[in-house]
Amino acid sequence: MFVCIGLKFLRDGEYDYLFAYFERREWSNKLIVSMGKWAPMGLMGFHFAFFTITHWTVALITFYSTKAQIIFLIIWIMFSLNVTEKYYSAFFKFTKNVRLQQLLGDITLQAHLS
């Protein structure tokens, strides 16, 4: 019920969210339309089942195989470093631009005052 109430709130606010993304795709839109008013709950159920099954599969594989565990760990670390690098490079670029704008604004303000 909360998902259905939240869906109206999200649609009214024109937010971009996963359900709207799936509504825009042709293959998933057919599935969503066929579920009717239960579409948000169906999508949540699908995600829960998919991620639970995936988690247990990876957990069992890595529990019984040391090589697979090391491979998954290396992939996880590389992915984490990649995401972190992209986030912080964008963050520092943004803060650098803000500081430059503030500096230029202060210089322009001082020129007008003198």
Q: What per-residue confidence (pLDDT) applies to 56? A: 96
Distances (CA, A) of 114 to 100, 102, 105: 21, 18, 14
Per-residue pLDDT band at 79 (split at 50, 70, 90):
very high
Position 1 confidence tier, pLDDT thresholds 50, 70, 90: very low
pLDDT of residue 95: 85
- 3-state SS, residue 41: helix
CA dist., res. 53 & res. 64, Å (int): 17
The predicted model scores a pTM of 0.51
Helix (H) or strand (E) holding 72: helix 66-113
Amino acid at the residue 110 = Q
Let me know how long the chain is: 114
CB-CB contact of 3 with 40 (8 Å)? yes
Mean pLDDT score across all residues of the chain: 82
Model confidence at 10, in pLDDT bands (50, 70, 90)?
A: low
- DSSP character at residue 36: G
Measured distance CA(50)–CA(76) in Å, rounded: 19
